[in-house]
Structure 1
């Protein structure tokens, strides 16, 4: 089981295992910025997937992008600490981390489902 702060971080910032892998790649090579094509080759992913994950990580304050290059740059020491805890947890208990990511509520899916929710007449 992940501690509450780490679980909250995963649920808010890491939306897929691809985003996790990209974050860990960039964190492992903090001394360089990766282009989208370099990340595609490293992770054997698609450009669209890497671009989407990069945007998510950038929005979460975990990476900085300049043009087509992105590098690991957490916006605060607290985020750096959570990333360190996440990397360690993934190394020690990968299935637990993956399960936490997969179990995270997806906002778009929730919004779609809410569109079909029946409400009481007096609401």
Structure 2
């Protein structure tokens, strides 16, 4: 069964990369505060990937930083928590479908940029 359109839009808007989703799920499964070095080690990702992912999650209202720069899963509303649970369930059942939604959402800007260079007939 395909993901409902509203959930697809949420995934595309909330996660700029699969790393972001993986990071959010890691934070969700491990309540509490996490410093960047811990997240880098657990995800086996670069510092840049983790920082960009954290920044995106905070901007989307899905995570927060404390005064020491540690991150935690903290949805801004109960509706966001429900939506994240739906994403988590879909990702567990159909990870490739979720990855395609994320990759498709993140390439739309690239497509628009590359389309600007297409030659158009008169």
Cα pair 2:16 2:105 within 8 Å, conserved: yes
Q: Secondary structure at the match of 1:71?
A: strand
Runs (4+) of structure 1 moved beyond 3 Å? 105-108, 110-119
Give the TM-score of the pair, scaled to structure 1: 0.86
For 2:36, the equivalent position in structure 1 comes to: 36
- TM-superposed CA distance for 1:117, in Å, is 6.6
For 1:93, the equivalent position in structure 2 comes to: 94
Q: Secondary structure at the match of 2:61?
A: coil
- TM-superposed CA distance for 1:116, in Å, is 4.0
Cα pair 2:17 2:106 within 8 Å, conserved: no
- TM-superposed CA distance for 1:111, in Å, is 5.8
- TM-superposed CA distance for 1:106, in Å, is 3.7
For 1:52, the equivalent position in structure 2 comes to: 52
Q: Secondary structure at the match of 1:61?
A: coil
- 1:1-123 equivalent positions in 2, closer than 5 A: 1-30=2-31, 32-66=32-66, 67-106=68-107, 108-110=109-111, 112-113=113-114, 116=117
CA RMSD of aligned residues (A): 2.0
Flag the 1:105–1:19 CA change in 2: closer, same or farther, 3 A. Answer: closer
- TM-superposed CA distance for 1:96, in Å, is 1.0
Give the distance between the partners of 2:83 and 2:4, measured in 1 at CA: 11
- TM-superposed CA distance for 1:68, in Å, is 2.1
Give the distance between the partners of 2:106 and 2:39, measured in 1 at CA: 26
